[in-house]
Amino acid sequence: MMKAFLEGNGQFVVDVYRTQYTWRGDKWLEQYPANDGREHQSMSQAKTDPSFSPDFAQYDVVISNFGWKAAPWPPATQRKFEQYMQNGGGFVSVHAANNAFPNWLEYNKMIGLGGWGGRNQKDGPYIYYNDDGELQRDMSAGQGGGHGYIHEFTIQVRHATHPIMQGLPSNWLHSKDELYNRLRGPAENLTVLASAYDNKKYNGYGRHEPMIMTIDYHQGRVFHTTLGHGEAVYSDPTFMSILAKGVTWAAGTNHEGLR
């Protein structure tokens, strides 16, 4: 869906890379075949694909939705991606990508905040807004990551002058989605662009959680959104507009033909 949308606006050229092994992916492998000439297998347990090694350097930006319980990338691929980012690459973390790779230190620095996978106070502070609109860095003990019931919720802009946020209303009603709470991590060079109130009515945590953010990682730029659970969200024009702007920002350029 992201590939079709991004290429549909004429600004992007998108290649898709998939590991040979997909955890519990029977339905998805059939519905979204890779058509890359490789044999792909659905696995009952996550398994690292030793051959997974995209040439990151040929791309302006990398988008990931490797998610919960994703198998680690091969160490050499991790180092190659770190070098790509440190040298000025762009990265976009969508929804459950912040669940992935809890033991990869540099990845956690890239995404700024993450959840699940055993993340806790050792990984960094909780980041959220209090009711006075003050950003909190909370080092209290506790697990990282959670969400209540899927529901519509209001997004509140926190950084209206940022290029990704320009042209948006100060708040808007977002499609039914998971509202991630209690994310924590290094949160270095992180700017929260928008947040949402995690209402206890929907089994939430009762505070204002970051939904859209950017992270400066060495010379690289990261756009991170916690939004994006389920196909319906990808029919939401506001979300898709923000995603496209975030990809463009992370790439560091506005020219046509981005890869």
Residue type for position 95: H
Query: Residue ranges per domain, the chain?
Result: 2-17+52-251
Residue type for position 214: T
What are the tens digits of pLDDT across the range 232-258?
899 999 999 999 999 999 999 754 444
Answer whether 0.85 is exceeded by the pTM: yes
What are the tens digits of pLDDT across the range 118-155?
999 999 999 999 999 999 999 999 999 999 999 999 99
What are the tens digits of pLDDT across the range 186-205?
999 999 999 999 999 999 99
Q: Is 58 helix (H, G, I), strand (E, B) or coil?
A: helix
Q: Is 14 helix (H, G, I), strand (E, B) or coil?
A: coil
State CA 157 to chain mean position distance: 18
Distance in angstroms (rounded) separating the CA atoms of residues 172 and 179: 15
Look up the CATH number of domain 2-17+52-251. 3.40.50.880
